[in-house]
């Protein structure tokens, strides 16, 4: 795609004089790069000239020049945002990130879901889809200079191109890039097969062109006589696609019939079938090769008429007939290109996103919001993170390290007690961002916490993880009920002097499928003492089957320290723990024992020396109230304090502090300190406030938020 003329001069083509000045500014920065004859990576100017073929806007050209990797090494660094604007600076940042990305590994080839996840991550993490286009141009240029690299690097780059970048180009509808990426990568991976196909195509080129020209000339003349306007042209076949078809059909190149291909574009649907009838009347056609994708569109919406004819010399020519609208739809990459060739399904969001990209390529001055639409429409609900081993995990947006743990394995989730994100310990409620590396810290034994499934506490986002936690508690309760029911029945049979119970008969009587379900029903009191007494045909029991000795409750202190009551403790202001939170004590030389939540940032980031001052603490049973800060984001300040106060008054919850902030867009932030007894009460309060129509978000305030 490289031009023969001076590449720098080509960059001014099609731009206005003011635009020329901006390009000259970028070239002036590029000129600061020191000369190095050993450097053989793509340069920003070369990449920009490649993009000129796509008639892209000025910002894309500037970003292509300025994302040359050597510019980031200049000292002092150029102020790109000040000179060229935030959009260009963001594009440069994204392209630099894409150029430095090292997530791909050849092992992903055998894991299609991993390569697909990586493609989606690349598209989701770029702020502007034009950055992906620039990256594809960098990869085109990288492949042209690849012979200067070692065999290992050539093979790696080519494999990555076929697995990641060619499918992305295909998906975006940038077919010229797709074909170039595929053919050049294939040349490095299978050089002998590439040369064999290339030689065969070159040897038969004149004959193929003669066949195509003869077909077009006769069809064009006939359509002219019928007053049908049509655009007819030969459709080139590319080496990699030819090789794939040879492999798939186990054929030699001279046995492939569709190396000759023609496309006919007409004005309307009626003309499609009229042209088809004319083609079939002029040439012999092969019935089994005819497909009507207009009457029966592909699942992804692709429409066209496909037929194969034999010319006078017996050459097979594949003919595609479609309207301009059908052709535009197909060329956008939504239909025949990315969906059915990659095994995907029809996706309305993708259709809209492809159209967005097309506008970005065609409009000289696209709106600033247009570039953002692509990412927001297609990937607004996903986040892509990595395991320590480099495996990509696809999660719903808003997922936490705990969601990640359950996505890895259910048992990892159950035993999760902490997490590191990019090497730093984070709370389990931390919201993950694409590209982060997550490591889960687990215990050998243990299970989930009831707080994890409370929607107001923010531990879990994904339905999958929430269902796993609920299932665990259900199973635990089931096991407890079975054990309790079994003990009740055994004790009662001993009291009645029954040496053996007919469990099968007992289960049938109470309509239980087996003894385990019978024990469970007794344990959870679905089968009462009176019902059992009736079955055993004894007088109604005056007391329950199992007597629990009455004990006068004894008051305990709010916090026990290593099992000891009445130890002086204070609640940490930084995390404001309340009953139900997992807590830990910190021995202070001045304040005694301070009680923190275990996921408090101050605890998570303690130095190794200070970790020795941690001590085990637990909640006691004595009732008390705790000061907890909450933050409420509302669409409007109108009646906000009144509505929230009403809810708190009904719940008999005291407010110790309140402050209201209003913003120019009429939104408001209400900070409150409320006195609550435990985390369950806090959850109920947050849930009720969240149901108010004016509320955007309400949550427990953490630290200096």
- Predicted pLDDT of residue 219: 95
Taking the C-alpha atoms of residue 668 and residue 663, their distance in angstroms, rounded to an integer, is: 6
What residues form DSSP beta bridges with 587? 593
Per-residue pLDDT of 541-579, as tens digits, reads: 333 333 334 443 343 446 777 665 556 688 888 888 888
Q: Is the pLDDT of residue 228 over 90?
A: yes
Q: pLDDT higher for 703 or 614? A: 614
Taking the C-alpha atoms of residue 263 and residue 200, their distance in angstroms, rounded to an integer, is: 23
- Predicted pLDDT of residue 562: 61
Residue 63 CA: distances (Å) to CA of 144, 148, 177, 208, 365: 21, 26, 19, 41, 15
Contacts of 163 (CB under 8 A, 6+ apart): 104, 108, 109, 115
Binned at pLDDT 50, 70 and 90, residue 488 comes out as confident
Q: Are 454 and 461 in contact (CB under 8 A)?
A: no
Contacts of 375 (CB under 8 A, 6+ apart): 123, 124, 126, 127, 128, 129
Contacts of 466 (CB under 8 A, 6+ apart): 452, 453, 460
- Predicted pLDDT of residue 325: 82
Per-residue pLDDT of 146-185, as tens digits, reads: 888 888 889 999 998 988 888 888 777 677 788 889 999 9
Lowest mean pLDDT segment, chosen from 293-297, 355-359, 579-583: 355-359
Residue 498 CA: distances (Å) to CA of 288, 548, 594: 80, 22, 56
Per-residue pLDDT of 76-133, as tens digits, reads: 899 999 999 998 998 999 898 888 877 777 777 677 677 777 777 776 666 677 888 8
9 phi-psi bin (left φ>0, alpha ψ -120 to 50, beta other)? alpha
Q: pLDDT higher for 466 or 351? A: 466
Task: Return the number of other C-beta atoms located less than 10 Å from residue 475's C-beta.
Answer: 11
pTM summary value? 0.54
Q: Is the pLDDT of residue 381 over 90?
A: no
Binned at pLDDT 50, 70 and 90, residue 371 comes out as very low
Residue 682 is encoded by which pair of tokens?
């806090």
Strand, coil or helix: 316? strand
Candidates 239, 243, 223, 242; CA nearest to 231 is 223
């Amino acid at each position: 795609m490289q031009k023969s003329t001076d590449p720098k001069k080509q960059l001014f083509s099609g731009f206005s004089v003011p635009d020329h000045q901006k390009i000259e500014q970028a070239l002036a920065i590029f000129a600061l790069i020191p000369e190095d004859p050993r450097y053989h990576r793509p340069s920003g100017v070369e990449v920009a000239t490649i993009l000129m073929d796509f008639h892209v806007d000025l910002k894309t050209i500037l970003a292509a020049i300025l994302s040359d990797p050597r510019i980031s090494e200049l000292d002092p660094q150029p102020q790109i945002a000040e000179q060229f604007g935030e959009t260009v600076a963001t594009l440069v940042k994204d392209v630099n990130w894409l150029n430095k990305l090292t997530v791909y590994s050849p092992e992903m080839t055998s894991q299609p879901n991993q390569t697909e996840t990586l493609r989606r991550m690349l598209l989701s993490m770029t702020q502007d889809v034009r950055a992906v286009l620039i990256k594809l141009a960098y990869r085109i240029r990288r492949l042209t200079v690849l012979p200067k690299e070692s065999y290992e690097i050539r093979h790696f780059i080519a494999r990555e191109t076929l697995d990641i970048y060619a499918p992305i180009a295909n998906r975006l509808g940038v077919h010229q890039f797709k074909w170039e990426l595929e053919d050049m990568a294939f040349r490095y991976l299978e050089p002998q097969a590439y040369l064999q196909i290339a030689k065969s195509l070159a040897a038969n080129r004149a004959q193929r062109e003669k066949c195509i020209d003869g077909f077009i000339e006769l069809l064009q003349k006939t359509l002219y006589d019928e007053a049908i306007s049509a655009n007819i042209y030969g459709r080139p076949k590319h080496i990699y696609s030819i090789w794939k078809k040879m492999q798939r059909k186990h054929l030699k190149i001279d046995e492939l019939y569709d190396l000759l291909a023609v496309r006919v574009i007409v004005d309307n649907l009626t003309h499609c079938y009229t042209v088809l009838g004319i083609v079939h009347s002029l040439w012999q056609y092969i019935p089994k090769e005819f497909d009507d994708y207009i009457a029966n569109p592909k699942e992804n919406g692709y429409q066209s008429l496909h037929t194969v004819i034999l010319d006078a010399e017996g050459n097979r020519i594949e003919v595609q007939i479609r309207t301009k609208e059908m052709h535009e739809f197909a060329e956008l990459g939504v239909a025949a290109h990315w969906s059915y060739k990659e095994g995907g399904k029809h996706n309305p969001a993708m259709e809209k996103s492809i159209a967005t990209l097309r506008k970005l390529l065609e409009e000289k001055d696209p709106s600033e919001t247009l570039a953002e639409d692509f990412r927001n429409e297609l990937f607004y609900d996903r986040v892509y993170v990595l395991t320590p081993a480099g495996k990509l995990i696809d999660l719903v947006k808003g997922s936490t390290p705990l969601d990640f743990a359950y996505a890895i394995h259910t048992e990892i989730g159950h035993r999760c007690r902490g997490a590191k994100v990019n090497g730093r310990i984070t709370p389990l409620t931390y919201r993950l961002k694409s590209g982060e590396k997550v490591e889960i810290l687990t215990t050998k034994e243990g299970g989930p916490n009831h707080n994890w499934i409370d929607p107001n506490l923010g531990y879990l986002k994904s339905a999958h993880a929430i269902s796993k936690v609920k299932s665990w508690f259900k199973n635990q309760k089931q096991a407890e009920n079975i054990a309790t029911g079994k003990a009740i029945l055994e004790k009662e049979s001993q009291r009645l002097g029954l040496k053996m119970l007919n469990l099968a008969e007992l289960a049938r009587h109470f309509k239980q499928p087996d003894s385990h379900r019978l024990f469970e029903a007794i344990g959870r009191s679905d089968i009462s003492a009176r019902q059992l007494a009736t079955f055993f045909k004894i007088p109604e029991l005056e007391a329950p089957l199992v007597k629990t000795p009455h004990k006068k409750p004894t008051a305990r202190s709010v916090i026990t320290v290593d099992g000891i009551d009445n130890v002086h403790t204070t609640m940490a202001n930084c995390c404001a723990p309340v009953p139900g939170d997992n807590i830990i004590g910190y021995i202070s030389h001045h304040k005694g024992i301070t009680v923190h939540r275990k996921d408090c940032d101050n605890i998570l980031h303690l130095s190794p020396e200070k970790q020795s001052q941690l001590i085990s603490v637990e909640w006691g049973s004595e009732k008390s109230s705790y000061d907890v800060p909450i933050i409420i984001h509302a669409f409007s300040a109108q009646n906000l304090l009144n509505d929230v106060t009403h809810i708190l008054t009904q719940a008999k919850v005291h407010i110790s502090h309140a402050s209201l902030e209003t913003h120019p867009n009429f939104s408001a932030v209400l900070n409150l300190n409320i006195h609550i007894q435990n985390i369950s009460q806090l959850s109920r309060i947050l849930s009720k406030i969240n149901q108010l129509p004016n509320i955007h978000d309400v949550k427990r305030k953490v630290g200096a938020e």
